[in-house]
Amino acid sequence: MGRQKGSTLTERARKTVPGFDSMYKKLEQKIKLSGLSTSTLINYGRSMAKISLHFGKTPLDLEDDTINEYLLEIKAGEKPSESYFKHTVYGLRYLFRLFGREDRAIQLPPLRRKSQLPAVLSQAECKRLFRAPKLLKHRVLLALVYSAGLRLSELVALRLEDVDSDRMQIRIRQGKGNKGRYVVLSSLALQGLRKYYLAYHPKAYLFNGQVKGKPMGKRSVQWVMRSAVRQAGIKKQASLHTLRHSFATHLIEDGVDIFTVKEQLGHAHIETTLRYIHIARNIKRTDVHSPLDTLYQS
């Protein structure tokens, strides 16, 4: 629904705001050539469309004071949206740089990063979560996400040939920023995957969707997680990404060095990984492994 709404706004701006169509085409071309995600184009396009429809002009034709007042209105609104404010500022910066107006991008207000630490499941909660789903497919799916610290987009894109049982690795073809990497393949996760394969016989994608030849949808995966959290009696605000946070935290608690954890997660900067140091407790060993393999040893 969000994508349709964003597309409608962009289409309306392209038809009604002078100069928006040519500006958007250049923005779209640059984002695609830069290898940025489709969601980046949608978010930037939607935010640029909103401000353009609001004033009847593109941001390139607006004064700096007008743009700053608009941003202030967003921040001071009755229901301020942090994500919309962020996409608007980032979108404006990207747009001005694209059109050689770096001076304007510099004058835009800085974005403050929230320092709130992510929620992490305990080992006992992970065990309850993986037992909760009735379907083998769902149990294996959740355990695999935790075992390798996968993002949702990485999970649904996995193909059968990406699981390398000889090297005990999983190939991530395009992670965040379109960067590929290899992550650890848990021996316990591999056992589950083999049982799942014999029972479901997936084709092409590791987790097939209802439509033939298509992967399992992101919303379906999120539903599996929500249902499992509820059935497991977990009271924390846990999403599928919580399993990735738990993967990183449990690895550090098991003594795996921070640089190895960074590479497993596919982080571009070590600072992103360092936050898990503040969550981890009782740091133990220094060997490299999947946390799923030690989950049932305690």
Pick the closest to residue 48 from 72, 31, 24, 71 (CA basis): 24
Listing DSSP states for 60-84 in one string gives GGS-HHHHHHHHHHHHHSSS--HHH
Helices and strands (H and E) in the chain: how many: 15, 3
pLDDT value, residue 7: 64
> How high is the mean pLDDT of the chain?
87
**Bigger pLDDT: 178 or 98?**
98
pLDDT of 149 over the 50 cut = yes
**Bigger pLDDT: 185 or 73?**
185
Tokens standing for residue 75:
């921040």
pLDDT digits (tens, 9 = 90+) for 7-18: 688 999 999 999
pLDDT digits (tens, 9 = 90+) for 39-60: 889 989 999 999 999 999 999 9
Q: In whole angstroms, give the CA distance from residue 73 to residue 211.
A: 44
> Which residues lie across from 181 on neighbouring strands?
172
Structurally, what CATH architecture does the domain formed by 123-295 represent? Orthogonal Bundle (1.10)
**C-alpha pair distances (Å), 263 with each of 86, 158, 248, 260:** 27, 18, 11, 5
Burial class (CB in 10 A: 0-12, 13-18, 19+), 83: exposed
CB 129 within 8 A of CB 139: no
Residues annotated as part of the active site: 151, 176, 241, 244, 267, 276
**Residue-range domain boundaries for the chain:** 2-107, 123-295
Indicate the range of 81-85, 205-209, 271-275 predicted with least confidence. Answer: 81-85
Q: Percent of the chain, pLDDT > 90?
A: 59
Beta strands in the chain, from DSSP E residues, in sequence order: 163-164, 169-172, 181-184
Q: In whole angstroms, give the CA distance from residue 183 to residue 173.
A: 11
